[in-house]
Structure 1
Amino acid sequence: YPDYILTREHVQAWEGVHGKIPAGAWLLLRTDWSKREGKEAFLNASEDGPHSPGFHPDCLRFLAHERDVVGVGVETVGTDAGQAGGFDPAFPAHNIMHGAGKLGLASLCNLDKLPPTGAVILAAPLKIVKGSGSPLRVLALVPAA
């Protein structure tokens, strides 16, 4: 679903099954986008811009302010949906989440190997003077089965 948008209602339905997202947690959006092969399929751009999944602005407000997550992670090239330039506000992951001091992880893989809850995420950025982002290797520690 290239233009799938995660809503507050989707998150609340997930919480109904798995419990409330605790403050300080990461929300990682699994879409299996990382399994796309080749640059063209991964970027999925067309005449009207890229098409990739992401978050609805209201969902990001909910996560940032009502759940106080540390940040969000996605399998796509950026934390905003491909068509997020047309959202209100435009590019809500950057404007809402990052504007609230929350973090974003992009181009994640192997999210299908994580349990719904309980993984510990390690993401140590490089110290880049006046940088707004950094390449990093993200690791997930999962409870023993």
Structure 2
Amino acid sequence: MAGDKQDNVWPLPKFFFKVTLGDQGEIPFQEVTGLDSETQVIEYRAGNSKVFSTIKMPGIAKTGNITLKKGVFAKDNKFWTWYSTIKLNTIKRETVVISLMDEGGADTMVWTLTNAFPVKISGTDLKSDGNEVAVETIEIAYETIVIKNG
């Protein structure tokens, strides 16, 4: 029934989450997108196969980049500081942990991204006649993703 404690009947809501960014700790984000992984397909046919078609096998797995959006706060340059550490392949890699939580604040699903580093930062757009919150965006590349249920 609506309003009852979360159970296995209803899907999880996606608005209650937290992001922990390496040694920077927990950072409040407005939006997280790009949690995906993909496996390339290899087509193969042996020369002595009696079937005149290829078989498909899994190949190299690859991950996309995640995009994180958050509000701009005064004297908060964490993203720019982390991005500026990229110099001639001397990147400060971090572990990024994204947790989807239930109504009690307990983790229900956890995505752990290893060896993550920023590849793009976008500052907010500025409009003299607007009244929106200033939002900055960081795009992060990572090597592996592990998903666990809480």
Is TM-score (shorter-chain normalized) higher than 0.5?
Answer: no
Which structure carries more strand by proportion? 2
Which structure carries more helix by proportion? 1
Given the two structures, how large is their TM-score scaled by the length of structure 1? 0.23
